[in-house]
Structure 1
Amino acid sequence: MNRDLMDNSTLDTLEAMLRTRTIEELAQQFHKAVDAIGEFYCLLANVNKFQPGAIRPTLSSYPKEWTTHYIGNNYGQVDPLLPRAMQTTVGFEWNTCDAMMNKKEWALAADIYEIGVQDGFVLPIHGPGSSVFFASFGQAGRTMPLRMQIALSMLTMQYHQRYQQLTAPQVIQPDILTARERECLAWVANGRTTSEVAEILNVNDNTIKFHLKNAQRKLECTNRVTTVIKALSLGLISI
C-alpha cells in the first residue's frame, strides 16, 4: 500500500469526517478539509439522472447572491456540467465542456467569471436507480493540478459515505468480520503494507490479501482505502 495515501494526517482528516454525528458537523469538517487544500467555491447536491436541472443541494459555499442569480435565471436547465456528470463515472475539469457549449451555456460561464471563478472540477458519484451525487468545486485558476483533484475526490467520497450513513443509518452486525480480517485491516490502517502485515502475523502475502479482499466484499467497498475507513467509522477496528 502507498504510505503517502494512508499517512496519519490523511486518516485523521477522513476519520474526523466519519466520526461526525450530525449533518452540520459533517459540513464543518468537510469545509475545513477543503480549505486546507485550496480556495474553492463548492457545491454538493443530489441529482436525478433524468432531471439533472432539478438539483437538491446538501452543501454550498457559493455566495447567496450567486445562488439566487443561478436559480432566477434557471441556469440548472442549461448548466453543461450537469448532463456531463450524468453521463460519466469519472471526475472532470470544467474546461473540458468548453468545446460543446452553446450561447446560453456561455452566458452562464460569463456570469460565474464575474465572481472570480474560471475553472473547476466535478466528481459524480452514481448511486442506485437514477440517483447521482454531484460535487463541483470552482476556483480562480484556469487549471487544477491532478493531486488536488485526487484530494478533493477522496474528501467527496467520504463526505458522501458519511452523509448516507447519517441520513439512512446502516445496520451492521458486529461479527460481520472475522477476528483475522479485523486484525489485518487494523494493521493496514496503521500504515503497514501487505508484506509487513504478513511478516507480523507470520503468514504469506496471499493470506493477507485473501483476508483483506473478504473484508472489502463484506463491507461492500470498492478498494482497500475505503474498506479501512468504513471499518473505522463502524467501530469494527481502531488505530
Structure 2
Amino acid sequence: MIAFIEDFISSSGSVTSAEALRDLYLDAVESEGYQNAVFARTRDRRVVDIPWMRFPNGYADRYVTSGWDQIDPVVQFVHSARRPFAWSDACGKTKLSQRQKAFLADCRDMGVHSGITIPLHGPGTDVDLISISLRDERGAPPNRLAMIYGLTFQYRLRLSELNNEKLSSGQDLTAKEIECLKWCKEGKTNWEIGEILSISEKTVEFHLSNTIRKLGVSNRITAVVKGIQTGIISI
C-alpha cells in the first residue's frame, strides 16, 4: 500500500499542470477499479463548482438539470464527515426520502454506484470532496479505503502546490516524532516502532498522535503522505 502511494507521490511531483495531475490521479483510482470520479466544491450543502468529473454519458447533465445536489445524501453528509466514507454508510445514517431513494436508483441505473467520498474541509461551510465509484455490480476492492485516502490527500496537496497555496511545513515536529513517522512509512506497527526505538507502545502512540495533529491530518497514512510531500521524510 505504502509503495503504491510512494510511486504516486513521486509521479505527481513531476507533473507541471493541474490537468496532468488530474489525469494521473484518475489513472491511479481506475487501477483500483473506480471508473467514475468527481472533484466538487460544496457550500451550505450545495454543489457550487465542479472542477472536473468522469461519469457515464448523460449522467452529469441529468444530475445538474434535476438539481440532484439538493437531495444527494453524500453532499448532505460530507459536511459533518471528517474521514472518507462509503456511500452506503452515509445512506445508512440518513432517513432517506422517497425522492432520495429514487435518485439512488437512477444513479445505479446510469452506472454510478458503490462509491466512496473523501471530504476536504476548507474555511467556514466550504467542503471540497472527491468521490469515486463503480459502474457495475461487483463489489469495491476490500480494505483499500486508507490507500485511496492517501492517493487523494496527495492529489490535493500537490494541487495546492501547483496553485501556490501555502502548505504546513511541519517544522515543529520533534526528532522523536519524525523518527516514529519514518518507521510508520515502513509499515511498522506501534509495538514494532517501540521495540526499534526502545520506547513503550504508548509513547509511540503519543508521538504519532502529536504528529497527526501538527500536520493537520487525520490518520497515519495521510501523515506519511504529508511528511513526504513537505520533505520531513524521504521516499
Q: Same fold (TM over 0.5)?
A: yes
Residues 70 and 196 of structure 1, relative CA distance in 2, 3 Å threshold: closer
Is 1:92–2:81 an aligned residue pair?
Answer: no
Q: Which runs of 5+ in 1 are unaligned?
A: none
**In the alignment, which of 223, 231, 235 is matched to residue 235 of structure 1?**
231
Residues 116 and 219 of structure 1, relative CA distance in 2, 3 Å threshold: closer
1:82 deviates by: 1.8
**One-letter code of the match for 1:115?**
M
Is 1:127–2:134 an aligned residue pair?
Answer: no
Distance 2:114 2:29 in 1: 16
Where do residues 75-90 of structure 1 align in structure 2 (5 Å cutoff)?
75-90=68-83
Is 1:43–2:33 an aligned residue pair?
Answer: no
**One-letter code of the match for 1:93?**
W
SS of residue matched to 2:124: coil
Residues 89 and 210 of structure 1, relative CA distance in 2, 3 Å threshold: closer
Q: Normalising to structure 1: TM-score of the pair?
A: 0.73
**One-letter code of the match for 2:127?**
V
SS of residue matched to 1:176: coil
**Contact 1:184/1:212 (8 A) holds in 2:** yes
Indicate the residue corresponding to 2:172 in structure 1.
176
SS of residue matched to 2:232: coil
Q: Which runs of 5+ in 2 are unaligned?
A: none
Provide Cα deviations, 1:163-191, integer angstroms capped at 9, x if missing partner.
34443522556853445543443333233
**In the alignment, which of 25, 35, 60 is matched to residue 30 of structure 1?**
25
Distance 1:121 1:44 in 2: 12
Q: Matched residues, percent identical?
A: 28
Residues 225 and 101 of structure 1, relative CA distance in 2, 3 Å threshold: same
Q: Normalising to structure 2: TM-score of the pair?
A: 0.74
Distance 2:96 2:49 in 1: 25
1:23 deviates by: 1.8
**Contact 1:42/1:62 (8 A) holds in 2:** yes
Is 1:167–2:163 an aligned residue pair?
Answer: yes
Indicate the residue corresponding to 1:221 in structure 2.
217
With 153-162 and 35-44 compared, the bigger mean Cα shift is at: 153-162
SS of residue matched to 1:135: strand
Distance 2:96 2:209 in 1: 42
Where do residues 197-216 of structure 1 align in structure 2 (5 Å cutoff)?
197-201=193-197, 203-205=198-200, 208-209=204-205, 211-216=207-212
1:216 deviates by: 3.4
What is the root-mean-square deviation in Å for CA atoms of aligned residues?
3.5
Distance 1:209 1:80 in 2: 35
Is 1:65–2:61 an aligned residue pair?
Answer: no
Q: Please say which structure displays the higher CA radius of gyration.
A: 1
Provide Cα deviations, 1:86-136, integer angstroms capped at 9, x if missing partner.
344451324836961324x45544543443334433343433310112232
With 208-217 and 65-74 compared, the bigger mean Cα shift is at: 208-217
